[in-house]
């Protein structure tokens, strides 16, 4: 790719971004679109636009995002989102501090060295462009100028250590604040017990109750045995479906009344397959009948489920936060694989179907999943390598001669040259996350947030291994295949030549990602169109409308690995081609700004893990740093530099830093520290409410009748005590 | 070594053993020796000899040792000793079950193959002796007879898995029984808190009290801040020394009165260096004066210590076992390296000087110690290799020509040939344990039992790496040095030839160890002589006499690695030379019997770790098994056997087995399971007594005055509650 096509790519991306920005400024002012651009505020019962005036500055959101404090983010979008911004801020800080030193120092050092430029011109068909002159590739081997690059490598590393340490400390404090909050949070009073051993003569509930009452005679409140809810869930979903359809039919009927005919038209439907065949019936009557039929069925199934479908897991409730926190960390049974405990996740993110899976099966599943993921990573390596190698215009012309006339158009050619390789990559990556999420769930993990973390880790390894290393090594290998036959000695130089020449590819990739990606993110064009289509043609009731605009969450499972990929790329090229740093800074700066707007106004978090994502982010930033340090070690080696051994301490230092961090901070992200849990609550917790919040909707009684829970849900014991 | 010298070695050892046995039978009957042969029973206030008759069978101890139940061992010698016998029993079981199958199957298979015998006779100067004919070395390469050996390898492995699993389960049960015992054990009510962070405005004691009282408002009893006791200990030791000397002087004076002169002779001593110079004074007056001088000094130093020498660690006491057990496992502080908790060891095995060491310093110390140990292991490799290679008689004759006339004496030559290499080895190994114990203590470990475990692990690695692998590989290399020059191809066969030819060396080693080692153990000749010498010439008071006969404990730090070395050797040779199995069986059978006698009657345990040694024993038996499996893999390889890949699953299976065991059992050996701790006590614990048992003797007040402890030892709060 030459300099012109790079500028074209950059320019086009920039133009698209500006258009999307303007679209956003225009669309977000329309009152009808408020539910698309401010759903989080609306759901929280706030006025969509601060101050409410329509005449305000269209770029006011920038000011609002900039001035919003961390506390605002936490209160609007939860701690996990705040932690995500700490991550963005830290990464941004690393790149900014690196750039401040590296750009003014390394660029002149590279640009004034001319030796490689000359020799390269004779071997690589003049592809050496203006960027390469500013990169480390332009430095003569063994040159004493390399000392500057060596120092730069150290500078970047130490900046990363410093900011990571600060961030870990800060996030640990945030987590502590959230956990010691005086609000009553149900999950802080419960623990999750799995692997309950077999028993005789007692019901599962009696067994659990007597076990925990013996250990915690004063603080034990109640237990809730996990049940197999498959059948009851199915009936409940069916019932809810009919209720929605009834509401819809009633809405249609009400609407038809107002216009002309006062008696209205009663809506009808067919009872057969998908409503396409069978007898035609009156919808309202039909659905009401169905609902009346299903309610007793649900109730009897609820009873059967609670009585007969109890499984080997339970939620146990305590009247004190400290006791629950200590219980979640303590070994309960002599056999370690029995009565295993963890702290309970939030009710909304519990994965009930996974709770019954036994310890050794969980471990086995985990390894099987790891094996499948490893296979996936290496199986995808082949197609992605082929795609990124084939989708250069020159290759396409050779392989598909019929596209030659298209390519001859100058403008189109430049455009194609600019986007073709990256587009294939981006589309390709979009296929994977769902699969990884499914696999992570199959491991037997009990909470959604944990599954997201697991999936995010897998996606990170996938992207770094395939995109970054795959493209660098694969691309370099492909272009040097011919060279090898002619000059076998140059194989050693593959990496040295490969890294800088791929720098422009990644430069474009980063630019595309931030301009187009964040442009689409901010303008929300796709959700807007979908919402308006649904509103016009599908939604009849208020509930349906709300469902149409309710936004998801930030989607850490793919967002964090995506950011991590960009960070890894920018970090690895930071010293080799410092020009990539401003692009990284814009990516994370723009991302920070736009996502802050989205977090404050759009996305609604669907779980709260109290910042447990952070150790994973920290570990991966550190992994990227080590990859960078090892790459630099190899790259300095190909430059035949005498100072290479001086780079060896860096990866060791990074491992040491990671070890110290994990020793100092990590366990608090797994367990709740008792000093934190012992902070006072603002009120005595309503234990019944705490308990009820964990009952899944399909098991909730319509009549608010306590008796039916007595089979799987133990009775509370009236008890007065100090509630901490 | 030929067959004759082997038989001589065995015969001599056996004769020594029989002599020692007879000595024991004769000496142990003498009433004056009861304190040497039955100290454990005497200290427990029992009659030395069961039944008390002097006319009983001199071999009654065998019957008593055989019939003693596990409960007897636990009540006489503690759980750790019982666990040691489980280890002995398991290892014995492995060898017996292996022998039952391997001996009748493999010996005929080896003996009837003649090919190697023939070829070897031409190359190895006729050293191929009758043993080698019974070993796997006698099998023709590629022979289908090797299938039998392959199956034997599997049989030994599965026997080991089965018995290890059973033993782990059994020991876990024993540990649970001990921990749920209704007796009040002070260490079950306390936790050890280290890494207490800096503070302002409060005393350390107030800080600890307020911290734990906030978290455990109901169960917190008191805390005891750890102090720097160096000075107070010195004064206390001085005082105790003078008290002993005073008692001794009074005893001498009293003795002198009875004989002839009724006024007696007042003993005198010199006040100068070591009592050798200086003014002559009346001992009784002098020592009484010193004691009167030191008591107020001790008291004031106790006050200073408690007030001003408080350190960053404390013992915290709870009124409930469950709370203490849960507290010892829970994260207390947000920063994981602050307020670190562990369960408190017994008062008698607490290492006060190590308690103040901070977390990261402990980790650093650990790695430094590991590094030193690794250096030691590889530094000693050279001398031990040289020694075992040089101390064959043939080599000695060459190196030291002047010993030739000695060697010419037939009997002496056979004797020297039999013992020389092994004696050097045994003496050499005796130098190390103290050093390893010192190193382990320097790691900052808080309890003696833990230090013993750590030292034992180091000693195990040392013995296995140096003795077993060093002798096998080193010896083989040495003998083949000349061969290499002549026939370079035979280098590949070094291992194949080396293993069987070293078998006889190890056979003798094992025999020497059990006959002479256990003979000395049972007869207690050395302690007996020392006791009688002391009684005659040194001891004047009852206290001094008791000190002279008080036995130590079993000494796990060296005993377990010693046993493990024998087991590793026997296991590794079990299939190659099955004739080693009976020797192993005799070693562990005899050991089991004799040590059971010693445990019941002689040794007094100096700590109780509730079986925490077991996971280490288990891990090392498994390590020996893996070493055996890998050795077999290599050895089958040199036999050019087609079934070699079939041996690959074995080490993987062993790792898997170890993983499952550690998942199922291990954590209970680190932490107390709450279901175990929640068992009822037979009485409400006297918390003051529990608290006082942790006060080191040098800080104990003579006047039983509570006030002086108020500085470092927090006041108890009168509180009534349920004591679990």
Q: What gap in Å lies between CA A455 and CA A437, rounded to an integer?
A: 5
pLDDT score of B498: 58
pLDDT in tens, A42-79: 888 777 766 544 556 767 788 888 888 888 889 888 89
Tell whether A675 is within 8 A of chain B (Cβ). Answer: yes
Judged by average pLDDT, the poorest of B25-34, B85-94, B321-330 is: B25-34
pLDDT in tens, A418-467: 666 665 566 666 778 888 899 999 999 999 999 999 999 998 888 887 76
Asked if residues A159 and A322 have their Cβ atoms less than 8 Å apart, the reply is: no
Q: Is B217 close to A722, i.e. CB distance below 8 A?
A: yes
Q: Is B118 a residue whose pLDDT tops 90?
A: no
Name the percent of chain B in helix, strand, coil, to the closest 5: 70, 5, 25
Q: What gap in Å lies between CA B671 and CA A330, rounded to an integer?
A: 8
Residue A359 tokens, joined: 């310890």
Q: Which residues of B touch A334 (CB under 8 A)?
A: 172-173, 175-176, 668, 673, 675-676
Mean pLDDT of chain B: 81
Asked if residues A413 and A457 have their Cβ atoms less than 8 Å apart, the reply is: no
The burial of B203, by beta-carbon neighbours within 10 Å (0-12 exposed, 13-18 middle, 19 or more buried), is given as middle
pLDDT score of B634: 80
Q: Is B123 a residue whose pLDDT tops 50?
A: no
Q: Is the dihedral of CA A682, A686, A691, A695 positive or negative?
A: negative
pLDDT in tens, B291-339: 888 888 888 888 888 888 888 899 999 999 999 999 999 999 999 999 9
Q: What gap in Å lies between CA B498 and CA B480, rounded to an integer?
A: 9
Instruction: Give me the mean pLDDT over the B30-46 stretch.
Output: 81
Q: Which of A172, A673, A722 sits opposite B331 (nearest CB)?
A: A673
Query: Which residues lie below 8 Å from residue A543, measured CB to CB, with a gap of 6+?
Result: A244, A247
Q: Could you write out the DSSP letters of every residue in B327-392?
A: HHHS--SSSTTSSEEEEPPPGGGB-HHHHT--HHHHHHHHHHHHHHHHHHHHHHHHHHHHHHHH-S
Instruction: Give me the mean pLDDT over the B144-160 stretch.
Output: 90
Instruction: Give me the mean pLDDT over the A639-648 stretch.
Output: 84
Domain residue ranges of chain A, discontinuous segments joined by +: 3-181+361-638, 232-303
Selection from A545-559, B164-178, B275-289, B520-534 with the highest mean pLDDT: B164-178
Q: Which of A218, A337, A675 sits opposite B663 (nearest CB)?
A: A337
Strands (DSSP E) contained in B228-309 are: 268-270, 280-282
pLDDT score of B34: 80
Mean pLDDT of chain A: 81
pLDDT in tens, A119-151: 444 434 444 456 667 777 777 777 888 888 899
Q: Could you write out the DSSP letters of every residue in B110-142?
A: HHT--HHHHHHHHHSTT---HHHHTSGGGSPTT
Judged by average pLDDT, the poorest of B149-153, B429-433, B490-494, B579-583 is: B490-494
Tell whether B322 is within 8 A of chain A (Cβ). Answer: yes
Tell whether B211 is within 8 A of chain A (Cβ). Answer: yes
Q: Is A99 a residue whose pLDDT tops 70?
A: yes
Q: Which residues of B touch A672 (CB under 8 A)?
A: 331
Q: Which of B215, B217, B722 sits opposite A674 (nearest CB)?
A: B215
Of the candidates B698, B693, B692, B696, the residue with the CA atom closest to the CA atom of residue B294: B698
Residue B272 tokens, joined: 């100068």
Q: How far is A722 from chain B (nearest CA, A)?
A: 9
pLDDT in tens, A413-423: 777 666 666 65
pLDDT score of B710: 54
Q: Is A592 a residue whose pLDDT tops 50?
A: yes
Q: What gap in Å lies between CA B291 and CA B663, rounded to an integer?
A: 57
Higher pLDDT, A506 or B584: B584
Closest-CA residue of A relative to B680 is A214
Q: What region, left, alpha or beta, does residue B604 occupy, with left being phi > 0 and alpha being psi -120 to 50 degrees?
A: beta
Give B256's DSSP letter: H
User: In the sheet where B190-194 sits, what is the strand order?
Assistant: B220-227, B310-318, B190-194, B340-343
Q: Is B329 close to A330, i.e. CB distance below 8 A?
A: yes
Asked if residues B566 and B584 have their Cβ atoms less than 8 Å apart, the reply is: yes
Residue A344 tokens, joined: 């309970």
Rounded-to-10 torsion of CA A9, A10, A15, A20 = 100
Judged by average pLDDT, the poorest of A429-438, B611-620, B713-722 is: B713-722
pLDDT score of B464: 80
Instruction: Give me the mean pLDDT over the B576-593 stretch.
Output: 88
Asked if residues B113 and B143 have their Cβ atoms less than 8 Å apart, the reply is: yes
Closest-CA residue of B relative to A214 is B678
Q: Which of B173, B363, B667 sits opposite A336 (nearest CB)?
A: B667
A263-271 long-range contacts (CB < 8 A, ≥24 apart) are none
Q: Which of A663, A672, A673 sits opposite B337 (nearest CB)?
A: A663
pLDDT score of A718: 40
Of the candidates A510, A508, A506, the residue with the CA atom closest to the CA atom of residue A498: A506
Query: Which residues lie below 8 Å from residue B655, measured CB to CB, with a gap of 6+?
Result: B626
Q: Which of A217, A333, A724 sits opposite B675 (nearest CB)?
A: A333
Higher pLDDT, B547 or B696: B696
Work out the angle between the directed axes of helices B433-442 and B359-390 (0-180°, nearest 10).
160
Q: Which residues of A touch B667 (CB under 8 A)?
A: 331, 336
The Cα angle at residue B137 between residues B132 and B143, in degrees rounded to 5: 135
Q: Is A335 close to B172, i.e. CB distance below 8 A?
A: yes
Q: Is A674 close to B325, i.e. CB distance below 8 A?
A: no
Q: Residue B126: which pLDDT band, with cuts at 50, 70 and 90?
A: very low
Closest-CA residue of A relative to B331 is A673
Q: What gap in Å lies between CA B27 and CA A175, rounded to an integer?
A: 71
- Can you tell me the ipTM of this complex? 0.82
Tell whether B724 is within 8 A of chain A (Cβ). Answer: yes
Q: What gap in Å lies between CA A680 and CA A674, rounded to an integer?
A: 12
CB environment B39-51: b (16+ within 10 A), e (fewer): bbbbeeeeebbee
Q: Is A666 a residue whose pLDDT tops 90?
A: yes
β-sheet bridge partners, residue B715: none
pLDDT score of B53: 47
Q: Residue A492: which pLDDT band, with cuts at 50, 70 and 90?
A: very low
Find residues 53-112 of chain B whose CB sits inside 8 Å of chain A: none
Q: Which residues of B touch A214 (CB under 8 A)?
A: 675, 678
Residue to mutate among A171, A320, A330, with most B CBs inside 10 A, is A330
CB environment B157-171: b (16+ within 10 A), e (fewer): bebbbebbbebbebb
Q: Which residues of A touch B611 (CB under 8 A)?
A: none
Higher pLDDT, B114 or A657: A657
Closest-CA residue of A relative to B169 is A335
Q: Is B125 a residue whose pLDDT tops 50?
A: no
The Cα angle at residue A528 between residues A526 and A533, in degrees rounded to 5: 100
Q: Could you write out the three-class secondary structure of A402-421?
A: HHHHHHHCHHHHHHHHHHHH
pLDDT in tens, B431-461: 788 888 999 999 999 999 999 999 999 988 8
Residue A227 tokens, joined: 């049940």
Of the candidates B84, B59, B56, the residue with the CA atom closest to the CA atom of residue B70: B84
């Amino acid at each position: 790719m030459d300099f012109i096509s790079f500028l074209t790519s950059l320019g086009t991306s920039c133009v698209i971004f500006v258009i999307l920005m303007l679209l956003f400024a225009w669309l977000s002012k329309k009152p009808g679109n408020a539910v698309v651009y401010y759903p989080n505020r609306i759901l929280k019962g706030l006025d969509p636009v601060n101050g409410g005036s329509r005449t305000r500055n269209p770029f006011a959101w920038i000011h609002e995002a900039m001035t919003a404090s961390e506390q605002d983010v936490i209160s609007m979008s939860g701690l996990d989102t705040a932690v995500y911004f700490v991550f963005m801020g830290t990464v941004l800080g690393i790149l900014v501090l690196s750039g401040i030193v590296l750009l003014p120092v390394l660029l002149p050092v590279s640009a004034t060295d001319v030796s490689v430029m000359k020799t390269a011109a004779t071997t690589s068909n003049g592809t050496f462009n203006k960027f390469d002159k500013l990169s480390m590739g332009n430095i003569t081997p063994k040159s004493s100028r390399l000392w500057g690059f060596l120092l730069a490598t150290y500078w970047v590393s130490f900046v990363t250590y410093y900011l990571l340490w600060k961030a870990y400390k800060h996030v640990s404090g945030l987590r502590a604040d959230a956990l010691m909050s005086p609000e009553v949070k149900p999950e802080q009073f419960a623990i999750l017990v799995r692997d309950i051993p077999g028993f005789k003569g007692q019901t599962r509930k009696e067994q659990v109750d007597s076990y925990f009452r013996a250990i915690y005679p004063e603080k034990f409140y109640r237990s809730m045995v996990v049940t197999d809810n498959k059948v009851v869930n199915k009936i409940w979903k069916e019932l809810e479906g009919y209720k929605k359809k009834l509401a819809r039919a009633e809405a249609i009927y009400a609407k038809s009344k107002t216009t002309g005919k006062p008696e209205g038209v009663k809506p009808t439907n067919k009872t057969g397959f998908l409503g396409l065949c069978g007898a035609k019936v009156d919808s309202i009557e039909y659905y009401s009948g169905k609902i009346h039929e299903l309610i007793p069925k649900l109730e009897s199934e609820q009873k059967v489920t609670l009585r007969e479908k109890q499984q080997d897991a339970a939620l146990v409730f305590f009247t004190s936060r400290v006791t629950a926190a200590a219980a979640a960390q303590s070994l309960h049974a002599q056999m370690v694989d029995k009565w295993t405990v963890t702290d309970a996740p939030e009710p909304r993110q519990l994965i009930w179907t996974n709770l019954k899976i036994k310890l050794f099966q969980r471990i086995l599943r985990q390894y099987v999943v790891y094996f499948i993921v490893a296979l996936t990573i290496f199986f995808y390596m082949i197609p992605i390598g082929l795609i990124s190698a084939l989708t250069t215009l020159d290759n396409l012309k050779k392989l598909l001669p019929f596209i030659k006339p298209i390519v001859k158009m100058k403008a189109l050619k430049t455009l194609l040259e600019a986007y073709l390789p990256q587009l294939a990559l981006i589309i390709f990556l979009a296929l994977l996350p769902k699969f990884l999420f499914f696999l992570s769930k199959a491991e037997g993990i009990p909470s959604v947030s944990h599954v997201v973390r697991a999936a995010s880790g897998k996606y990170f390894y996938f992207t770094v291994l395939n995109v970054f290393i795959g493209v660098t090594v694969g691309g370099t290998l492909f272009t040097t295949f011919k060279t090898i036959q002619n000059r076998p000695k140059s194989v050693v130089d593959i990496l040295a030549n490969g890294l800088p020449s791929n720098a422009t590819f990644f430069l474009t990739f980063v630019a595309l990602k931030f301009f187009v990606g964040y442009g689409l993110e901010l303008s929300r064009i796709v959700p807007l169109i979908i919402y308006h289509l649904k509103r016009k043609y599908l939604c009849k009731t208020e509930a349906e409308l709300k469902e149409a605009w309710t936004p998801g969450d930030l989607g850490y499972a793919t967002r964090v690995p995506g950011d991590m990929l960009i960070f890894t790329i920018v970090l690895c090229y930071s010293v080799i081609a410092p020009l990539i740093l401003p692009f990284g800074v814009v990516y994370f700066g723009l991302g920070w700004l736009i996502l802050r707007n989205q977090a404050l106004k759009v996305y609604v978090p669907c779980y709260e893990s109290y910042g447990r994502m952070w150790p994973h982010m920290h570990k991966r930033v550190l992994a990227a740093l080590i990859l960078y340090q090892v790459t630099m070690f190899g790259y300095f080696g190909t430059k035949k530099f005498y100072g290479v051994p001086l780079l060896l301490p860096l990866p060791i230092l990074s491992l040491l830093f990671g070890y110290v961090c994990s020793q100092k901070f990590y366990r608090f992200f797994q367990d709740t520290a008792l000093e934190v849990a012992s902070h006072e609550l603002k009120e005595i917790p309503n234990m019944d409410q705490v308990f009820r919040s964990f009952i899944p909707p399909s098991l909730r009684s319509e009549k608010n009748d306590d008796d039916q829970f007595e089979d799987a849900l133990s009775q509370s014991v009236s008890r007065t005590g100090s509630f901490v």
